[in-house]
Amino acid sequence: MMNIVLSRDTLNLVHQLQRMTGENVMLCYQCKKCTLGCPSAYRMRMKPHELMRAIQLGQEEEIYWSGTIWICLSCETCNTRCPQGINILRVIDGLRERSKEVNYYNPYPVIPAFHRIFLSLVERFGRIYELGLAVLINLRMLSPFKDMDMAYPMFIRGKMKPLPHRSQGVKELQQVMERIRKLEESKLEN
């Protein structure tokens, strides 16, 4: 049997993710149980068990190229099936966070843009503002009139409000989000 020796550079991604998420990807022994239960695996170019292997081998560019971290539905089925107790979703969330710092190709740019805009609107108004979300996503994707035909019937039925409404608990929500940001920053520094 051939022994594979991993260099410090190769293991860099494993260590970075362990610092961010507390999860040790080296525990994965490729049993594939995560992939067999994953509802999105059929759409993934890199299946969950392959993602874990790619992390072990430091193949960060290939990971982002596959787009798997954005196809994941965050359903946590993989976590419940992993015999090694790895929280795979936490690892995927760590990669999503890292993707802001590294500049690799993403085949699904609309998904992280949606995440960011959704969160910033919720932080501002304490609830989602559907029209603002649709307009900002369309502008971000340089297609300002996309799906306008769907918006009209929603206006007529009162399902979509023209102006945002602030929720009463918006101040508390902003404080919680600020605390989360600070916690994440301090985790990254340690």
Residues that bind ligand SF4 (CB under 6 A): 28-34, 37-40, 48-49, 52, 72-78, 81-84, 86, 88-89
What are the backbone angles phi and psi of residue 122, rounded to the nearest 5°?
-65, -40
- Shortest Å distance, C-beta 187 to ligand SF4: 21
Nearer to ligand SF4, 37 or 132 (CB): 37
Record the tokens describing residue 64, joined without a space.
């982002």
Nearer to ligand SF4, 82 or 117 (CB): 82
- Shortest Å distance, C-beta 6 to ligand SF4: 16
111 by Cβ neighbours in 10 Å (0-12 / 13-18 / 19+) ranks as middle
- Shortest Å distance, C-beta 56 to ligand SF4: 10
Taking the C-alpha atoms of residue 70 and residue 85, their distance in angstroms, rounded to an integer, is: 22
- Shortest Å distance, C-beta 53 to ligand SF4: 8
What are the backbone angles phi and psi of residue 60, rounded to the nearest 5°?
-65, -40
Record the tokens describing residue 157, joined without a space.
């039925």
Nearer to ligand SF4, 13 or 134 (CB): 13
Q: Which stretches of the chain are assigned E, i.e. beta strand?
A: none
Nearer to ligand SF4, 97 or 123 (CB): 97
Residue type, position 25, single letter: V
- Shortest Å distance, C-beta 188 to ligand SF4: 23
Nearer to ligand SF4, 83 or 169 (CB): 83
Nearer to ligand SF4, 74 or 190 (CB): 74
Query: Whose CA is closest to 51, among 23, 20, 19?
Result: 23
CB-CB contact of 120 with 59 (8 Å): no
- Shortest Å distance, C-beta 117 to ligand SF4: 21
Which residues lie below 8 Å from residue 2, measured CB to CB, with a gap of 6+?
none
